[in-house]
Amino acid sequence: MYILIAEDDIFFQKFYKNELEQHGFEVQVVSNGTEALTSIAQRNPDLLILDIIMPMMDGFEVLEELSKSGKITTLPVLIFSTLGQEADVKHAIDLGAKGYVNKSFFDFDSLLIKIKAVTGT
């Protein structure tokens, strides 16, 4: 399974990329929403793990673009953020995200469960 992570924090990029690769996933990391959309256009991932607060284009804007293009119906998106406000999570779900993971808890088992749930694997 090919996973795209859109995350601007280098620590989180390295930690989660390494953990996912150790579990057999192919992982690409990009640092902002613009790069995420470019990467999705070049190679369709099986899952997008999307941070909300990023430079150039935030996660909400990425979700809006994916919704406009219709891509959100075929690309499962997990929000991956330290934002745990109910309103933010609801907004992301309303835009088409399939779930939310608080990246700062380092609960990798919960992330794997969410990945399996949204991808049906």
Q: Domain ranges in the chain?
A: 2-52+63-109
Name the least confident of 2-6, 66-70, 104-108. 104-108
Give the model confidence (pLDDT) of 48-61 as tens digits.
999 999 999 999 99
Asked if residue 1 lies in contact with residue 25, where contact means CB atoms within 8 angstroms, the answer is yes
- Tell which residue, 77, 74, 47, has the closest CA to residue 62: 77
Sheet of strand 26-30: strand arrangement: 26-30, 2-6, 47-50, 77-81, 99-102
Give CATH for domain 2-52+63-109.
3.40.50.2300
pTM for this prediction? 0.93
What is the reported pLDDT for 109? 85
Whether the predicted pLDDT of 85 surpasses 80: no
Length of the chain: 121
d(CA 82, CA 26): 24
Contact by Cβ (8 Å): 3, 12 = no
The yes-or-no verdict on residue 105 having pLDDT over 80 is no
